[in-house]
Amino acid sequence: MFEEDTKRLRVAYEAFNEGGVEAFLEQLAPEFQLRDRESSPDRAETRYGKQGIKELFDSYMEAFDALRLEPQEFIDCGDQIVVSLHQRVRGSASGAEVVGNIAHVWTMRGAAPYRLRIFGDKESALRTLDAEGSL
């Protein structure tokens, strides 16, 4: 199951990088949930459904005119998958490119991604899963 889920997630990231948030949304379960990282301006607000996800990415794109997510590693954590990502953004006003690493923790439901939690880095994601008893 991990290999199949990893393939699905790769397709979702490719869709995002090639077609933006609209293409990404097509890959998700209708009842999808996203929880942003603790350091986000909205303090880890949870977004629900495809409209909630679109609103979050639209808010990102107010500050950035380009956002690319490049998966580096997929880690099998039982019923969840941690994805270590290389993130590239370009400021819409400055044109400055910022590169960094973040992590996504995915929960799958059937054949579709159901829940995503965003973390500042892979270590934070793994520590959180360990503290929750998910590892």
Rg for the chain (alpha carbons), in Å?
14
| Residue-wise pLDDT tens digits, 103-134 | 999 998 888 888 999 999 999 999 999 898 77
- Looking at the 3D structure of the chain, how many domains does it have? 1
CATH code assigned at 83: 3.10.450.50
**Residue-range definition of the domain harbouring residue 47:** 2-131
| Average pLDDT score, the chain | 86
Q: CA 87 → CA 26, 30, 68, 90, 91, distances in Å?
A: 21, 25, 6, 10, 13
| Residue-wise pLDDT tens digits, 76-93 | 998 899 999 999 988 888
| Residue-wise pLDDT tens digits, 7-53 | 999 999 999 899 888 888 888 888 889 887 766 555 567 888 888 88
